[in-house]
Amino acid sequence: MLKKPRNGNSAQHKYPHVGRTVSLASLSAHLGLSKASISRVLNGAPAARSIPQVTQDRILAAAQALNYRPNLLARSLRRGQSMTVGVLVPELSEGYATLVLAGLEETLSAAGYAMMLVTHHHQEAKLTDLHRIVMERAVDGIVAVDTSLPVIHSTPTVTISCPDPHDGVTNILLDHDRAAELALSHLYALGHRQIAIIKGQPFSSDTDIRWRSIQIAATRLGLSLHPKLVVQMKENLATDEPGFLAAQRLLATGIAFTAIFAFNDVSAIGAIRALQAARRQVPEHVSVVGFDDVTLAAYHRPALTTVRQPLRHMGALAAQSLLHSFTSGGNHEASHSVVVEPLFVLRNSTAQSPALSLQC
Amino acid sequence: MLKKPRNGNSAQHKYPHVGRTVSLASLSAHLGLSKASISRVLNGAPAARSIPQVTQDRILAAAQALNYRPNLLARSLRRGQSMTVGVLVPELSEGYATLVLAGLEETLSAAGYAMMLVTHHHQEAKLTDLHRIVMERAVDGIVAVDTSLPVIHSTPTVTISCPDPHDGVTNILLDHDRAAELALSHLYALGHRQIAIIKGQPFSSDTDIRWRSIQIAATRLGLSLHPKLVVQMKENLATDEPGFLAAQRLLATGIAFTAIFAFNDVSAIGAIRALQAARRQVPEHVSVVGFDDVTLAAYHRPALTTVRQPLRHMGALAAQSLLHSFTSGGNHEASHSVVVEPLFVLRNSTAQSPALSLQC
DNA sequence: GAAGTCTGTGCAAACGTTTGCCCACAGGAG
DNA sequence: CTCCTGTGGGCAAACGTTTGCACAGACTTC
């Protein structure tokens, strides 16, 4: 950011043209017109209609020639909107957040908005801190991804996969009931009856709702989930280690199971690693279903059978919703939910239950 | 962003406390002190020393009670610095950009800076456009990742993997000579003599320098690269398709080769897909070396032998360099380069040349 | 000829901070 | 008594825009 030298500053004539910000005032002096007229013309304000074309051309030419750039800080301050939205994200890891961001970015930048990005690593302290930072920067809106917000300010907000929806903020979320049903009924159809579940970490926003959906789907299928075959990941790591450890705990129970439904693709990969280390082949001995369908899933061997979450689309929807609330003047409708549908992706990490062939 | 209702607006007493921005003026009215004193105390300005402790406490308490938040737009406008850096990135895809961003974010946010993120998809028009947008937002600095900048403004800038370094901007880049040597000498030691090369797309900033380094390394090893076994990717896609197509072109030449050195991991994966489709096994028939060591590389089967680029670290270095140039007052030293070292990662996509065993 | 409507433009306030400078007063030194 | 040095704090300008209002002249309408 360039700063025009203070008046008393002698640097002014030492470097006559360096650091010279060209502002409306410069243009005004140069053209002999008022800042007001120039601003109006440059912004195509309605009041500029009464300014003759020749003058308008003169202004535009001068702006071009002097390479005038409006200072968006000043504009934002005056207009009361900054054309910027703050994006809160747990971390910049592979897959999840990245895809959502891509969807957000596309839609927002097409509408002329810029993104201010902050991460909080699921740490409560950082979260309130960063939320404050975003607020102070006077963003026009906030998108919180996979984050449970401590408190909602009056800034328009939309959340993605938020576990505890707040009043007046629209929440984009997956149809978890359908997702669980897709995964479990697939395993059921393959003859699996002893299915283990790897739950997400306590801090992950999808954990609870996904687990509820799994229970519902299991009940509908007449499938009983052995309590000891339901383990939860604890570690706050962006690697496959939590899944690896969870699967090890499953194996340590000594209870037989022929399939695992993992919380996400990365933990599914960790689980497969643990199974292979214990000499159980996937999918021959144990089937594994992942979640999300991040890029990794397709390239892993065995390629992961998984439930795709349309992350990019969810980002785009969030952006649209936010943009809509800008134009519609922030009508505080009650908490609104947008539900998106999952897609089942069949690959090679699932197969017929070995228990089934034994029965034959 | 909240806007205080205009004076003539009757909404003011309709909603007495909603939309009320608490500013220095509010505090001033509330405390009976001037905005100046309040500002000085709140900022711990040196001039605040002469203000008695009891008054200071009163001010701090009031700020707390009324939940005062400084408006960073106003502050930035006045101070001439926005505590924000703009980050230009080709796209938000898996791997490359994400890891760099993570490194940037960590260092910048620790120093109190926020990131403004924009993508340009390697499109020239968008690039100048977005560069302009970033400039207008009065960022204190710019980080351009894998981007060839059309023109440098006076804003402090640091580039990561920039092909054409500009004066006065420090460029963080990989030691490509070393990287090429690591990969090629590994293949050479395994007995490979007919090595095919998949070059990067023309728009990718590392393409040329990497290719030069490969030639140097090949010469040093006494290895001759068959011109027809050097193909270049063209497609602007974030998938493995460009690598797939490139490998198909290699196969179509009919010229024998026992190894491929790919431009990056994703294209290596695409190449492996093409080889397998043509009934050539990896690594038994053909060895493949990737580049970057994105997360994908470790999970792919066969796991990729690759050259790791310390992307996260490069991001952190860029941030540090930028922060340094802020404090040291932007001394325009000549174009400065920071070179980081690659790390060879041996996995399962490379093996002894089949030509070698034939010779035995 | 008076009244109204355009046309073309400028003044100045406002957005919320920060900061250079000034002032008033109290107390001590000379 | 005068001079000087803190102490405690306020005034107002400045950052660069945007915009409500005013205004002067020209032209039309009655």
**Diameter over CA atoms, chain A:** 95
Q: What is the 3-state secondary structure (H, E, C) of A129-165?
A: HHHHHHHHCCCCEEEEECCCCCCCCCCCEEEECCCCC
d(CA B353, CA B357): 7
pLDDT tier for residue B12 given thresholds of 50, 70 and 90: very low
Structure confidence at residue A329 (pLDDT): 64
Give, in Å, how far the C1' of D13 lies from the CA of B79.
Answer: 14
Structure confidence at residue B353 (pLDDT): 94
What would the CATH number be for the domain defined by A15-70?
1.10.260.40
Q: Which tokens belong to B133?
A: 């947008």
Spatial neighbors of B227 by CB under 8 A, at least 6 apart, are: none
- With CB atoms and an 8 Å threshold, state whether A18 touches B114: no
CATH architecture for the domain at B82-174+311-340: 3-Layer(aba) Sandwich (3.40)
In this structure, which topology does domain A176-310+344-359 adopt according to CATH? Rossmann fold (3.40.50)
CB count, 10 Å around CB of B181? Answer: 22
Phi and psi angles of residue B269, each rounded to the nearest 5 degrees, phi first: -65, -40
d(CA A270, CA B238): 25
pLDDT over 50 (residue B99) = yes
Q: Residue A131: which region, alpha, beta or left (left: phi > 0; alpha: psi -120 to 50)?
A: alpha
The secondary structure of residue A300, as a DSSP letter, is B
Spatial neighbors of B167 by CB under 8 A, at least 6 apart, are: B152, B334, B335
Structure confidence at residue B334 (pLDDT): 56
- With CB atoms and an 8 Å threshold, state whether B105 touches A93: no
d(CA B159, CA A194): 54
Among A166-180, A261-275, B127-141, B226-240, the range scoring the smallest mean pLDDT is B127-141
pLDDT in tens, B297-338: 988 889 999 999 999 999 999 999 999 999 876 555 556 889
Q: Which of residues 75-94 of A touch strand C (CB under 7 A)?
A: 77-78, 80
d(CA B138, CA B141): 9
d(CA B169, CA B161): 12
Quickly tell me which residue has 């229970």 as its tokens: A215
Q: Is it true that B11-70 and B176-310+344-359 share their CATH fold?
A: no
Give, in Å, how far the C1' of C19 lies from the CA of B117.
Answer: 32
d(CA A72, CA B255): 58
Structure confidence at residue A2 (pLDDT): 47
User: How many angstroms separate the Cα of B93 from the Cα of each of B89, B115, B160, B268?
Assistant: 10, 18, 17, 16
A105 in B contact zone (CB under 8 Å): yes
**Pair A77, B71: CB distance under 8 Å:** yes
CATH number (3.40.50.410, 1.10.260.40, 3.30.160.270, 3.10.20.30) of B11-70 reads: 1.10.260.40
CATH architecture for the domain at A82-173+311-339: 3-Layer(aba) Sandwich (3.40)
Residues with CB under 7 A from strand D: A 4, 7, 21, 23-25, 35-36, 39-40, 42-43, 45, 47, 68-71, 74-75, 77-79; B 8, 32-37, 47, 49-52, 55, 74, 77-78, 80
Q: Which tokens belong to A86?
A: 């703050």
B55 in A contact zone (CB under 8 Å): no
Structure confidence at residue B1 (pLDDT): 52
Q: Which residues of A touch B109 (CB under 8 A)?
A: 118-119, 130
Parallel, antiparallel, or unpaired for β B343-345 and B306-308? antiparallel
B3 in A contact zone (CB under 8 Å): yes
Q: Which of A123, A299, A347, A349 to mutate to test the interface with B (most CBs of B within 10 A)?
A: A299
The secondary structure of residue A178, as a DSSP letter, is H
Measured from Cα to the C1' atom, the residue closest to C12 is: A36
Structure confidence at residue B155 (pLDDT): 87
Structure confidence at residue A126 (pLDDT): 83
Q: Which residues of A touch B77 (CB under 8 A)?
A: 71, 73-74, 77
Phi and psi angles of residue A36, each rounded to the nearest 5 degrees, phi first: -60, -50
pLDDT over 60 (residue B62) = yes
pLDDT tier for residue B6 given thresholds of 50, 70 and 90: very low
Amino acid at B2: L
B22 in A contact zone (CB under 8 Å): no
Measured from Cα to the C1' atom, the residue closest to D12 is: B36
Measured from Cα to the C1' atom, the residue closest to C18 is: B78
Parallel, antiparallel, or unpaired for β B195-199 and B259-261? parallel
pLDDT over 50 (residue B7) = no
pLDDT over 60 (residue B11) = no
Chain C, protein-covered positions (CB within 7 A): 6-12, 14-21
Q: Which tokens belong to A197?
A: 């579940």
| Average pLDDT over all residues of chain B | 88
- With CB atoms and an 8 Å threshold, state whether A115 touches B114: no
CB count, 10 Å around CB of A240? Answer: 25
Give, in Å, how far the C1' of C7 lies from the CA of A44.
Answer: 17
pLDDT over 70 (residue B36) = yes
Q: Greater confidence, B190 or B48?
A: B190
Ordered by start, the domain boundaries in chain B are 11-70, 82-174+311-340, 176-310+344-359
The low-confidence residues of chain A, meaning pLDDT below 70, are: 1-20, 94, 151-153, 329-335, 356-360
* Burial (0-12, 13-18, 19+ Cβ within 10 Å), B9: exposed
Structure confidence at residue B109 (pLDDT): 92
d(CA A282, CA A262): 14
pLDDT tier for residue B207 given thresholds of 50, 70 and 90: very high
Edge-to-edge strand list for the sheet holding A287-289:
A230-232, A195-199, A259-261, A287-289
Phi and psi angles of residue B142, each rounded to the nearest 5 degrees, phi first: -135, 135
Phi and psi angles of residue B87, each rounded to the nearest 5 degrees, phi first: -120, 120
User: What is the CA angle B145-B151-B156, rounded to 5?
Assistant: 65
Strand partners, B144: B88, B159
User: What is the CA angle A270-A275-A279, rounded to 5?
Assistant: 145
d(CA A151, CA A157): 11
Range B328-349 average pLDDT: 82
d(CA B206, CA B200): 8
Spatial neighbors of A272 by CB under 8 A, at least 6 apart, are: A247, A282, A288, A300, A302, A349
Residue among A83, A70, A87 at smallest CA distance from A24: A70
The secondary structure of residue B48, as a DSSP letter, is G
* Burial (0-12, 13-18, 19+ Cβ within 10 Å), B163: middle
